[in-house]
A and B are shown apart, each in its own frame.
Chain A
Amino acid sequence: MASPGCCWHSRFAVRPSNAISCVVLAVYVAIHRRDQLLRLLLWAAPVGVVFFSYQVMVRHSLIPLYLTAPKMRNPFWEEC
């Protein structure tokens, strides 16, 4: 995780593509292990609370701004 306040690529904690794994595995549990769904959500809740709290307080955004990064140029040389 990059330190906040430096470059554009420091505005995220994880890539948003990691949400795919969370969603797909939750769908699997909901379909095939429905009796375990509540347990999954309860275990995921603390992680989610910490993640979203960090995002809002430090990054000032509920979700990572990875996709809004400037393209076709080198932001490292321009912004850092």
Chain B
Amino acid sequence: MNFFSPSRGLFIFTPVFLFSLAGMVLAWRRRWCGGLSPYLAAIVVLHAMVVLTIWPGHCYGPRYFADITHLLMFFLIPTILWWQKSAAAGAYGMGGGILDAGWLGRLRARARRDIDRGQPVERASGERGYAHAGACGSGRCTIPARPEMILAIDIGGTKFSMAVFDGDAMVRRESRATDAGGGRAWMVAQIGEIAGAWRREFALERCGIGFGGPVNFGEQRVVLSTHVGGWRDFDLCGFVREAAGVPAIMDNDANVGAMGEAEFGAGRGCSPLFYMTLSTGIGGGIWEEGPHLARRRFLRRRDRPPHHPS
């Protein structure tokens, strides 16, 4: 009655909020705004359930939904973003966006998971798959859309950082200055010490590593570090796997930075996305999301200059 009543139905007076329903599904599936969007959607649903029990009064209009109008407008955003993206791709449009939020979306999500579980792809164009099988674990090492407990390691020329993520929330972080004189041995000892302690404290499932230097992605080995000696052809993933007890995957820090900004940061919803890091070295990555999302986990890197101390 509160939704389609001729006198006070929400979708009768403001039918545009039908797209908010699709937006809620899109936001939920894509973890838009991190882990917050499911809670905001829950507020809308609970509110709608509660107002069903309240006498709506004699006046016209969906006045009981005035309390959550801001949330309904908020959930229009993912729908509009999807519409823009689909219109740019020329493949879907709003109708496709709504379908994607429904059962077709589930089918496509399943297909995407199958792709993620497949073999790694490194095409001639430079596209790389993060569903990598090979030297980083027991047979198959995949990075699903949202692992539960993740160890993240960022190794730079002047400092290195480690963090533990529980879903989208960072629950622990530690940064230490790099002892260039200590070389690789000092660094891996530090990583091993921290990872060993966190391994006992957290139920880690996977590890992602951003390394500040060239990385042989296919072999999952460090090529070299232009800042700290001793890293040449080092199996860092293997070391972390032993130290933290979890499968690890590694790429150049500019690449993973671009991926992180595209997935979680300022570049969310933007494709293609160009990311540039100005740190001890200068690097960049380009993130490109395909129109059908089948290749959204592939990263394209172009013109990545070698690191130069700034």
Binding site for B on A (CB under 8 A): 15, 17-18, 20-21, 24-25, 27-28, 32-33, 66-67, 69, 71-72, 74, 76
Contacts and interface: CB of A to CB of B under 8 A. Distances in A.
Contacts of A15: 64, 67
Given A17-B67, A21-B43, A66 B54 contact: yes
B168 A32 contact: yes
Contact of A74 (B58, B64, B167): B58
6 contacts: A17-B51, A20-B47, A21-B67, A21-B68, A32-B167, A69-B55
Interface string B45-70: 01100110011001000001001100
- Dominant secondary structure of chain A at its interface with chain B: helix
B42 A24 contact: yes
Contacts of B64: 15, 17
A18 B66 CA distance: 11
A25 B39 contact: yes
A25 B58 CA distance: 32
A32 B35 contact: yes
Contact of A20 (B50, B168, B169): B50
A32 B46 contact: no
A15 B56 CA distance: 12
Interface in B8-59: 34-36, 39, 42-43, 46-47, 50-51, 54-55, 58
A32 to B, nearest CB: 5
Contact of A32 (B42, B58, B67, B169): B169
Interface residues of B, number: 20
Contacts of A71: 55
Contacts of B169: 32-33
B155 to A, nearest CB: 26
A20 B42 CA distance: 9
Nearest to A32: B169
A58 B169 CA distance: 42
B63 to A, nearest CB: 10
A24 B39 contact: yes
B186 to A, nearest CB: 31
Most buried by B among A15, A21, A66: A21
Most buried by B among A15, A67, A71: A15
B46 A28 contact: no
A20 B35 contact: no
Contacts of A18: 67
A67 B54 contact: yes
Contacts of A74: 58
B31 to A, nearest CB: 12
A29 to B, nearest CB: 10
A28 B68 CA distance: 18
A20 B68 CA distance: 10
Nearest to A66: B54
Given A17-B50, A20-B43, A28 B36 contact: yes
Nearest to A74: B58
